[in-house]
Amino acid sequence: MAGKTGSEGEDRPKLLSGGNPQIPKGYGDEPVQAYIAAMPGWKQAIGRRIDAVVAREVPGVRKAVKWNSPFYGAPDGEGWFLSLHCMTKYVKVAFFKGAALQPLPPGASKQAHVRYLDIHEDGSPKGGWDEDQFADWVRQAAALPGEKM
């Protein structure tokens, strides 16, 4: 959907609450890259880092945008292991089977098996942004059965 117009006249996606881009549902890298390109301000750099780490750690990773959020799945599996979403003051990364990861990602969920990592503007989440630890969580999560959605 069209939203704000950029300096070159192109239509930009509408930003929903918290600055989350409104991107049409789609499968593959293209809609995920469109989402990342539409992330506002400092959140875009975080989105690029997350996407790069996932692509590096899970060769052939499946990608999609669903419910205005990028989703990542193991290349030979079904379902999804990770998603991200722009919030007002941070980027929320959801590990759908995060309760099985060691050590646990810092953010608890109302769903017993989901864990979150909230990354703030300075690059540090509550609990500390450690890219090596994040990469390890990504590898662990991709090896688990995906969450079907």
pLDDT tens sequence across 106-142: 999 999 999 999 998 875 555 457 899 999 999 999 9
What's residue 124's pLDDT?
59
| Cα 134 to Cα 149: distance, rounded to the nearest angstrom | 23
Pairing, β 11-13 against β 62-66: unpaired
How many other CB atoms are found less than 10 A from the CB of residue 19?
A: 16
CATH class as words, domain 13-143:
alpha beta
E strands present in 87-145: 90-95, 115-120
Residue with tokens 């059965």: 145
pLDDT score recorded for residue 5: 37
pLDDT at 17: 73
Q: For the chain (length 149 residues), average pLDDT per consecutive 10?
A: 42 75 93 95 93 98 96 93 94 97 95 94 63 96 94
The domain spans of the chain are 13-143
What value does the CA radius of gyration of the chain take, rounded to a whole number of Å?
Answer: 15
| 49 contacts: CB under 8 Å, gap ≥ 6 | 131
pLDDT given for residue 123 in this prediction: 59
